[in-house]
Amino acid sequence: MSGPPGPLRIDAGLLVRFREAGRRIAWRPAPRGAKRPSGHRTRIAHLHDEEARVDEWGTGPRTGIAVDSGPLGALVLLLEIDRRGPPTALGAESAGRDAAFRSGAIVAAWGEVAVPIDARPRLEDLVDLARYALA
């Protein structure tokens, strides 16, 4: 069963495949490393042979999520958008700007939360990138 339609306006079959892949993601705590601000929850998503760092923060109407800028990170972020609704801000951080995200990060926020503006990915860009996580 695919579940109810979410806010992602993408092909229904692709959305089903994204959701199915999301159920197969294995999660584990992130290893200690780069210092994160208080109130952040950091985990590692694992699917197939790929891993992605996922950093979540905030509560209620002011929340955010940062993910590695690869296919699995994009998939995790799209699944959060499918669950929470469209973010109020979407941005990206270049490689090397945050020690926790050496390859760069994609960041979404809900509410009055700032996101990095090194780049401004579109949802279509995330969908294209996330397709590679399905393999």
Q: Which domain holds residue 87?
A: 12-134
Which of the pair, 93 or 8, is modelled with greater confidence?
93
Residue 7 in any domain: the answer is no
**Chain segment 75-104, per-residue pLDDT in tens:** 999 999 999 999 999 999 999 898 889 999
Domains: count for the chain: 1
Residue 87 in any domain: the answer is yes
Long-range own/partner contacts, residues 109-114 (CB < 8 A, 24 or more apart)? 109/63, 109/64, 110/58, 110/61, 110/62, 110/63, 110/64, 110/84, 110/85, 111/58, 111/60, 111/61, 111/62, 111/63, 112/62, 112/88, 113/58, 113/62, 113/63, 113/64, 113/88, 113/89, 114/89
Residue 128 in any domain: the answer is yes
Residue 5 in any domain: the answer is no
Residue 76 in any domain: the answer is yes
**Chain segment 23-35, per-residue pLDDT in tens:** 999 999 998 766 6
User: Mean pLDDT across the stretch 50-74?
Assistant: 94
User: Mean pLDDT across the stretch 42-71?
Assistant: 94
Residue 44 in any domain: the answer is yes
Residue 1 in any domain: the answer is no
Most confident of 6-10, 13-17, 98-102: 13-17
Residue 36 in any domain: the answer is yes
